[in-house]
Amino acid sequence: MTDFLALAQPGVQKLSPYVPGKPVDELARELDLDPAGIVKLASNENPLGPSPKALEAIRGELAELTRYPDGNGFALKSRLAARYAVQPQQVTLGNGSNDILELVARAYLAPGLNAVFSEHAFAVYPIATQAVGAQGKVVPAKDFGHDLEAMLAAIDANTRVVFIANPNNPTGTWFGPQALSDFLARVPQEVLVVLDEAYIEYAEGDELPDGLDYLAAHPNLLVSRTFSKAYGLAALRVGYGISSAQVADVLNRVRQPFNVNSLALAAACAALDDTDYLVRSRQLNDAGMAQLEAGCRALGLGWIPSRGNFIAIDFARDTAAINQALLREGVIVRPVAGYGMPTYLRVSIGLPEENARFLEALAKVLGA
């Protein structure tokens, strides 16, 4: 029989598929649990439920489902451009910000070229890189965060892209404005810096830089963001990149013609205007983070300080058995052994009662 794995391009042969958080229904089926009693804190989703304004916008689009969406995403691009004081031609819309990362890889990477990213960085960077036959250069992390100096040193003549996440997932680590400007000042002009700000809305007003402030001075910068997290639209898959108009033009050449669906476009426009929802998302996250930190402290557990909507908890021992025991309690969190962190579990911030359920289950599992 033909070995179709051996026939795949070498980078793909070596890939491991992305492992998502376990769906509630899957756990319910596996352990014969009531789905209603299961708490999922495994995919950095927004626990608030979608913005009512986004839902209303979706309902308004339903009658048009027989038609293709606006392939150029005119309305959403215009709104993003107005919001962030850029030109619509600088905006690339994606099927989630994941799509933006893949468009960058497809447009700028190829066999013989490489992308630089950090140890413990988001799993899609190596997947997108290897999928197009390029090499991923993984730079050891410093205190679980990006070692930007070492990343600069790792850039060579074949480097075309650097992926950096601020804050990073799954560690929640971040770097400040000075570190970013020093980094951008020293990255070669021909290297595209993808600054992944999937969680930036949770950190606004904080000590993190706003990547968009650096675009004018750095034509080799692309900032990617998403509606999946603080805007609460993960299921719809909509994200965006903001870059120079030239980079956006290049990405547009490799984009699927209708990569963002009409419900997502309409909902994202509405969500962008729903500042009340965004404020509530942030407040809920801040309170939930404090709740989980207090719970960890009470259980004598360490954690990595996080500016995302999740926290990586340190158990100082392999967490596979703890994770299994939590699943039996109906609590789904995220093992991060695949990220080189076998003694950690990543827990997304939930509603206060969901966080409490997790902490109760954890105390029981640890025999505390």
Ligand X SMILES: Cc1ncc(COP(=O)(O)O)c(C=O)c1O
Binding residues vs ligand X (CB under 6 A):
44, 96-98, 122, 165, 169, 196, 198, 226, 228, 234, 239
Q: Which helix (H) or strand (E) covers residue 26, if one does?
A: helix 24-31
| CA distances for 225 relative to 95, 199, 242, 247, angstroms | 11, 8, 8, 16
Of 86 and 198, which has the nearer Cβ to ligand X?
Answer: 198
Of 15 and 325, which has the nearer Cβ to ligand X?
Answer: 15
Of 196 and 329, which has the nearer Cβ to ligand X?
Answer: 196
Least Å from the CB of residue 20 to ligand X: 9
Cβ proximity of 265 and 292 under 8 Å: no
Of 241 and 330, which has the nearer Cβ to ligand X?
Answer: 241
Q: Which helix (H) or strand (E) covers residue 363, if one does?
A: helix 352-365
Of 184 and 230, which has the nearer Cβ to ligand X?
Answer: 230
Least Å from the CB of residue 345 to ligand X: 16
Beta strands in 35-96 (DSSP E): 39-40, 91-94
Sign of CA dihedral 239, 118, 47, 321: positive
Least Å from the CB of residue 267 to ligand X: 14
**66 by DSSP, 3-state: which?**
coil
**Cα(277)–Cα(273) distance, rounded to whole angstroms?**
9
Least Å from the CB of residue 99 to ligand X: 7
Residue type for position 44: N
Least Å from the CB of residue 165 to ligand X: 4
For ligand X, the nearest residue by Cβ is 96
